[in-house]
Structure 1
Amino acid sequence: MIWVKRGAIALLGVLVLAVAALANWEPFFARTAAGAPGGTYRAEIIRDEWGVPHISGRTDADTAFGVAIAHAEDDFFTLQDTVAMSRGRYGAIAGEEGAKVDYVYHLIDARGTAEREYPKLPARTRAVYEAYAAGLNQYAEDHPGEVKLANLFPIDGTDIATGFALRQPFFFGLDSVIGPLVAGELLRREHGPDIPGFPRPPLEGAAPVGEPTPAPAAKQARARVLPTGEEAEHLGSNAFAVAPAKGGGTTTLISNSHQPYRGGVAWYELVIESGEGWHLAGSTFPGVPFPVMGHNEHLGWTNTVNTPDMIDIYKLELDASGTRYRLDGKWMPLESRTVILPVKVGPLVLPIRREVLRSVHGPVIRNKDGAFAVRYGGIGKLGQLDAYYHLGKAKSFAEWEAQIARLAIPSTNFVYADETGTIAYIYNAAIPNRPQDVKADWRSVLPGDRSDLIWQGAVPYAAIPRIVNPASGWVYNSNNTPFTAAGKGSDLDPASFSPVLGIELKQTNRSRRAYALLSASGTLDRAALEKIKYDTGYAREGYVARLWDELGRMKADGELAKARDLLLGWDFTADGKGPADALAMLVIRDFMAADYSNKPFPDVPEKLQAAADHLMTHFGRLDPPLGELVRLRQGTVDLPMDGGSDTLRAATTWDVDPDGRLNMKHGDSFIMWVEWTPGQRVVSRSIQPFGAATTRPRSPHYTDQMKLFVEHRLKPVHFWRDDLLAKASKPRRTIVTNAR
């Protein structure tokens, strides 16, 4: 029996070694930067009474170095996630969900795009990104106990560029195409309601409005695909600009972005300044070394998500081996490589092998219906790194628009205002330059064997919607069609734009309310605009009208009848004052999501029953105050919220806590209010849902903005240095450098 014991001991040893290998293999195979960025950087960081950093340096690069240090001081936890994503290592942190991101990283060749395109950027632009990478490296070196993964640092500018390449297609819904294709599921058409007077031309073979086309993914016609489910929470934001003639002499820009409150696309507020002309206040994402929306002394801009048809899908014809595809009568090799996805499971990191395919069209996904290539606007480009950098340096509308006109930023609406009183709305989108003389249904899955269907580049800037200084004196966007943007008499005619552009015709409730309120207003001064911005009303139109019409026809008894009658008596405002507000909050969200995502209309009795059950279980009544149900929670702070899932005061998405409360995680997030008054310097105010240090519970700025946020109040932005030093209570100044 000795040999049995020895065998067992040997087997145990093998198992121990295997476990150790699975726990430690990933860092040894991780890609590291060829060399940490060189150079010496020095920056000053002054934090105001809210912890918002004002970062300055002799050069732009010095300032970018300081931005990295300041942001890491507040949220190194999230910054590391973005770095891991840019290395294809997020699965080693976030498990299966992170591995999905890593798969897309490989599928769209984010690293390859950065390695090809980043060296082409101007040296001065690259210097900013290299300095930012150096700042993250410095912080990691100084705080090794905070680093999540071994060999995650050092990084360089190519890593920062890779993060841009990975994220940019998701703002116009690439994930909503990749996900269904990988799963072999149906893609859904956009059917949203036509705008009165703007009929959509009929599409041959189109499915009934609101229903999916009953065909496999390979044959599914599509106008464009919107994110579904949780992805829909990223489709939000309001933006307003008012000219001085309409605003009582003041030019106003209101940025009201709706982003998640935490994570890689949560806003971070900052002010930057340099001896090379940078002076900009606003907000940025983790992994970006300057504000991507905000204002300088002369002008400002903000963004909302738009969703033109930026994506084309091609069905490939493969040969019997599955390794070649037909193109113009010839067989072409299908590029194939195997990648290793690290997937954290408990203490182990499992290496999962996946095949990544590519054709001349773009990335290829193979499922039960065949092989599909995907091509999207901005594919293989990274000019946005340079365009965004120069937006903040512009001093006039002409300089600013010259950067937008490059169409280097693949998508997002821009709303603009400046010190001269100029206001503008631009439907920015690098829409594919599809050939007009080729017979093809660009709204369907295309044949992959024709090279004439493989477009190159984007349409001309002149082809996209644009409004400058409308007679109405205002522009806005709330993720709606660009054909309602400035009021009757100032709006664009959709007939003036090619249907091949695939411009959306959808409205949101926020858009309906904003359009009506702006149109009905006289002077749009601060008080009037505040009422509009914090409006909690619903228009009985679109999905809201359909929902209430079905409630009116619904037969019910008992508790369900009481819930129905309570909603039928609702005043269509989510201000927290009516007895039906909480019930309406629970019911409307799924119908809004279905409308945004082109899903079938949910079952009304089922959703009403679920909402009623939730309220009775956790509150013992159908009519608790809205503020008891909807909460803003962080640490030990727990505050009531108002607003709705599709109101201008947005409370969009939540987690349901064990006590039944809705813990808000997405909706109104960073708000910035900018004003230019003749003879005065630009002034601005802002607010965040939590504070400047969202992942630092010990920081005084972990929750210090929450009370202001729920009370519809804003705090001052100390844009000017003398204002910062004179008015900010006890500003904290530090000098950061990588010199040793």
Structure 2
Amino acid sequence: MIWIKRGALGLVGLLLVTFVFLASWEPFTALKSEPPEYREYSAEIVRSEYGVPMIYGETDADVAFGVAIAHAEDDFFTLQDVVAMAKGRYGAIAGQEGAQVDYVYHLIGARETATREYPKLPADTRALFDAYASGLNHYAQANPQELKLANLFPVNGEDIAAGFVLRQPFFYGLGNVIGPLVAGEPLRKEFGPDIPGFPRDNSPAEQLRKELAGQDVAANAHPNLVLPLGDAGDHLGSNAWAVAPDKTGGPTTLISNSHQPLRGGVAWYELGVQSGEGWHFTGANFPGSPFPFLGHNKHLGWTNTVNRPDMADVYRLEMNEAGDSYKLDDKWHPLEAKDVILPVKMGPITLPITQTVYRSPHHGPVIKNDDGFFAIRYGGMEKAEQLDAYYRLNKTTTLEEWQEQIARMAIPSTNFIYADKQGNIAYVYNASIPNRPEDVEANWRGILDGSRSDLIWEGTVAFDRIPKLINPASGWLYNSNNEPFTAAGEGSDLSPEDFSPVLGIERKQTNRSHRAFRLMSEATRLDRETLERIKYDTAYERRDYVDTMFTALEALQIDEDANGKLAEARELLLGWDFTADNQGPADALALLMIRSYMGAEYNNTPVPDIEEHLQEAVDHLMEHFGRLDPAMSQLLRLRQGDVDLPLDGGSDTLRASTTWREDEDGRLSLVHGDSFIQWVEWPADGGKVVSRSIQPFGAATTRPESPHYTDQMQLYVDHKLKPVRFYEDDVREHAASSKVVTNKRG
């Protein structure tokens, strides 16, 4: 029996050693970064009455140091997630979901790209990123109790660059290529106007023209045809408007209305910056950036919306029997393979999971699944110039300077809507679209033959080949994640016939686009009152997925005796007024129904079964409200901490409440929709720029103890904006706090 006891004790000891190893190994094997070379920084952080920071410094680098500290004071929790992603360690924080991000980090070579490209950036840009990294290091060292992972800091400019390289491609849908390939599912790439039978004449302009002329328009005519895609993610959204002074009757107006997740790594953070080197800008960035991505300076401003050109091509590789070489033009080449360790947190332990990542030196990243080996090549691949381009954009002062930066094609994607104090407005369908050969026969939206070198393109199309509009005759521009051929109204819009189908420009409308186009076209003057009415519009057009749902609802036959509640819900929904304004008895029911149909059309997934989906909505309302017709504002809520407020707007309305989580009480708590809104006006008399803004919660997103954790929520719910403190005299007059931060030694 003694040997049994000894064996049991040995097993316990082995289990204990294993547990200790799994609980502690990850920080010791993680990538360790050398901090930037020491440089003395000093910045002043002045916070407005709403806690929004304006960061002052003698140099741009001083300001970037202060940006990191100000953001860390408000949301160090999320900044650490972003740093972990930039080091391939997010799985050690977020488990399996984080490990998927880490896999992509290794697959696309984010670190290798940053290591190679970061030193090539101009010295002042690198100084900016090193200063920002130094600010994060300074805060981390001063607040060790807040750290999530050991050895996550210090960081340097290269680390911040790796984060940019990793995250940017997902804004134009790289995940919709990688995800299906990993899962062995069909690709999800859109058809364009080169597809036979494509409905070329179904734009909002043509729809509206026919309606006004009293002609019938097929309500179920879809302006987009798509191949199977899957979930396109939660980053698809945003509205943007620019209106010239002749059309407003007053100021040049720019409205930035981004739809992003309200929390997390791609949630907007509002800030302003001003340096002695001429950098003076206010707007918003994402965690991990030293500069705003959108907003305005004294002279000009811009905002962005997500666009979805065909930016990625997939190649099936012809492999040898051993599976270690691929064929290209009758020659065999070795496939690069590398084993990486993905940390996967599970409770108190972190498992080391080995994964092999592949790469073709000719094509790019390679994914192996049950169907073979598939290489991916995408726009902006292995580039880091965007770090410099965004910085330069912040400091442009004229339309010409601004266009010069955009024309670099360094920023991989996103539409730009622009306005300036001279009264200019502009729209650029910005995208680093692959420079595919026009004279080669190929289905660029399918799986390409990886053995043909003539299908492997190099570089990006020239700026003059992408859609753009400068000062259209209509006097207005908009984008709501729609095709670039409906942007300025009938008579001012671009024609799709003028752009090669090889560019892969999407042909898609959203309900927001239909509504914006109609309302902008019908308005004789787009003054502030009219634009506010458009921005907060909650209506749906009966087109596309809305029509699909209602056509199915009208055809649905229900036995009223057997299922009276379902029949009652059908009748209630058929009487809906097509608005999500909290005024109608069917608004809550429609809210629960419509998002799934929107997602099915946008992602080309199967349309929900109308009866099953309606039954789910009925069950939800009866369980949590005991009735089918509660006020929508009782169902849809804006919640943060102890604050719980009613909301209006729906999925894909101009007042956007896009996605939500279902809380235990059955209420829907907004997680994605109208996020950072900024309304900018340059007076016609040449006076100072004036802007207003709002965030859904407050500046201190993850600091419950802060008065700025929830202090913008009521304004947000009430469709109100707060003043942006841009000029120094105004900043200091309304300052709630001010402090100098420095890394001086001694």
- Cα distance in 2 between the residues matched to 1:291 and 1:225: 35
Alpha-carbon contact 1:194-1:506 (below 8 Å) kept: no
Q: What is the deviation of 1:3?
A: 2.6
Cα deviation per residue 1:461-481 (whole Å; 9 max; x = unaligned)? 000000000010000000000
Q: What SS is found at the alignment partner of 1:308?
A: coil
Alpha-carbon contact 1:426-1:466 (below 8 Å) kept: yes
Q: What SS is found at the alignment partner of 1:126?
A: helix
Cα deviation per residue 1:633-685 (whole Å; 9 max; x = unaligned)? 00000000000101000000000011110010000000000000023100100
State the AA in 2 paired with 1:570: W
Q: What SS is found at the alignment partner of 1:283?
A: strand
State the AA in 1 paired with 2:334: P
Q: What is the deviation of 1:308?
A: 0.3
Tell me, yes or no, if structure 1 residue 346 matches structure 2 residue 347.
yes
- Cα distance in 1 between the residues matched to 2:343 and 2:227: 32
Tell me, yes or no, if structure 1 residue 336 matches structure 2 residue 341.
no
Alpha-carbon contact 1:223-1:443 (below 8 Å) kept: no
- Cα distance in 2 between the residues matched to 1:398 and 1:600: 46
Tell me, yes or no, if structure 1 residue 373 matches structure 2 residue 388.
no
Question: 1:387 corresponds to which residue?
Answer: 389
Unaligned runs of 5+ in 1: 200-208, 213-221
Q: What SS is found at the alignment partner of 2:356?
A: strand
Q: What is the deviation of 1:38?
A: 1.9
Matched ranges for 1:635-714 at <5 A: 635-677=641-683, 678-714=685-721
Alpha-carbon contact 1:583-1:622 (below 8 Å) kept: yes
State the AA in 2 paired with 1:493: S
Alpha-carbon contact 2:435-2:460 (below 8 Å) kept: yes
Q: What is the deviation of 1:543?
A: 1.1
Counterpart among 599, 615, 620 of residue 621 in structure 2: 615
Q: What is the deviation of 1:191?
A: 5.7
Cα deviation per residue 1:598-640 (whole Å; 9 max; x = unaligned)? 2122211111111111111111111100100000000000000
Cα deviation per residue 1:489-540 (whole Å; 9 max; x = unaligned)? 0000100000001111110000000000000001111100000000000011
Alpha-carbon contact 1:63-1:274 (below 8 Å) kept: yes
- Cα distance in 2 between the residues matched to 1:37 and 1:137: 12
Matched ranges for 1:461-610 at <5 A: 461-556=463-558, 557=560, 558-610=564-616
Q: What SS is found at the alignment partner of 2:43?
A: strand
Alpha-carbon contact 2:227-2:604 (below 8 Å) kept: no
Question: 1:182 corresponds to which residue?
Answer: 182
Alpha-carbon contact 1:23-1:349 (below 8 Å) kept: yes
Q: What SS is found at the alignment partner of 1:141?
A: helix
Q: What is the deviation of 1:412?
A: 0.2
Distance 1:449 1:24, change over 3 A: same
Unaligned runs of 5+ in 2: 193-197, 205-220
Alpha-carbon contact 1:224-1:311 (below 8 Å) kept: no
Tell me, yes or no, if structure 1 residue 110 matches structure 2 residue 115.
no
Q: What is the deviation of 1:224?
A: 7.5
Q: What SS is found at the alignment partner of 2:438?
A: coil
Alpha-carbon contact 2:636-2:647 (below 8 Å) kept: yes
Q: What is the deviation of 1:129?
A: 0.2
- Cα distance in 2 between the residues matched to 1:720 and 1:446: 54
Q: What is the deviation of 1:189?
A: 4.5
Distance 1:734 1:195, change over 3 A: farther
- Cα distance in 1 between the residues matched to 2:611 and 2:475: 44
Q: What is the deviation of 1:176?
A: 1.2
Alpha-carbon contact 1:54-1:270 (below 8 Å) kept: yes
Q: What is the deviation of 1:550?
A: 1.6
Distance 1:224 1:124, change over 3 A: farther
Q: What is the deviation of 1:559?
A: 1.2
Question: 1:205 corresponds to which residue?
Answer: none
Question: 1:69 corresponds to which residue?
Answer: 69
Q: What is the deviation of 1:370?
A: 0.8
Question: 1:164 corresponds to which residue?
Answer: 164
State the AA in 1 paired with 2:539: G
Q: What is the deviation of 1:437?
A: 1.4
State the AA in 2 paired with 1:579: P
Tell me, yes or no, if structure 1 residue 119 matches structure 2 residue 119.
yes
State the AA in 2 paired with 1:431: I
Q: What is the deviation of 1:546?
A: 1.8
- Cα distance in 2 between the residues matched to 1:605 and 1:704: 42
Alpha-carbon contact 2:633-2:647 (below 8 Å) kept: yes
Question: 1:717 corresponds to which residue?
Answer: 724
- Cα distance in 1 between the residues matched to 2:380 and 2:190: 22
Alpha-carbon contact 2:421-2:686 (below 8 Å) kept: no
- Cα distance in 2 between the residues matched to 1:300 and 1:330: 52
Question: 2:737 corresponds to which residue?
Answer: 732
Deviates more, 1:315-324 or 1:5-14: 5-14
State the AA in 2 paired with 1:736: V
State the AA in 2 paired with 1:116: R
Distance 1:637 1:479, change over 3 A: same
Question: 1:630 corresponds to which residue?
Answer: 636
- Cα distance in 2 between the residues matched to 1:481 and 1:326: 38
State the AA in 2 paired with 1:619: F
Question: 2:213 corresponds to which residue?
Answer: none
Distance 1:446 1:223, change over 3 A: farther
- Cα distance in 1 between the residues matched to 2:655 and 2:153: 40
Question: 1:397 corresponds to which residue?
Answer: 399
Alpha-carbon contact 2:191-2:227 (below 8 Å) kept: no
Cα deviation per residue 1:88-118 (whole Å; 9 max; x = unaligned)? 0000000000000000000000000000101
Q: What is the deviation of 1:348?
A: 0.3
Question: 1:143 corresponds to which residue?
Answer: 143
Matched ranges for 1:119-518 at <5 A: 119-190=119-190, 194=199, 196=201, 228-229=230-231, 231-359=232-360, 360-518=362-520
- Cα distance in 2 between the residues matched to 1:139 and 1:197: 54
- Cα distance in 1 between the residues matched to 2:526 and 2:202: 27
Alpha-carbon contact 1:86-1:162 (below 8 Å) kept: yes
Tell me, yes or no, if structure 1 residue 28 matches structure 2 residue 28.
yes
Question: 1:217 corresponds to which residue?
Answer: none
Question: 2:101 corresponds to which residue?
Answer: 101
- Cα distance in 1 between the residues matched to 2:523 and 2:612: 40
Q: What is the deviation of 1:692?
A: 0.2
Alpha-carbon contact 1:407-1:458 (below 8 Å) kept: yes
Tell me, yes or no, if structure 1 residue 13 matches structure 2 residue 13.
yes
Q: What is the deviation of 1:292?
A: 0.5
Q: What SS is found at the alignment partner of 1:246?
A: helix
- Cα distance in 2 between the residues matched to 1:631 and 1:645: 14
Cα deviation per residue 1:39-94 (whole Å; 9 max; x = unaligned)? 11000000010000000100000000000000000000000000000000000000
- RMSD in angstroms over aligned alpha carbons? 1.6
- Cα distance in 1 between the residues matched to 2:631 and 2:201: 37
State the AA in 2 paired with 1:249: G
Q: What is the deviation of 1:725?
A: 1.6
Alpha-carbon contact 2:300-2:420 (below 8 Å) kept: yes
Q: What is the deviation of 1:287?
A: 0.1
Q: What is the deviation of 1:37?
A: 3.7
Q: What is the deviation of 1:225?
A: 7.5
Question: 2:85 corresponds to which residue?
Answer: 85
Q: What SS is found at the alignment partner of 1:605?
A: helix
State the AA in 2 paired with 1:61: A
Q: What is the deviation of 1:299?
A: 0.2
Q: What SS is found at the alignment partner of 2:247?
A: coil
Alpha-carbon contact 2:647-2:717 (below 8 Å) kept: yes
Q: What SS is found at the alignment partner of 1:179?
A: helix
Q: What is the deviation of 1:331?
A: 0.7
Distance 1:509 1:195, change over 3 A: farther
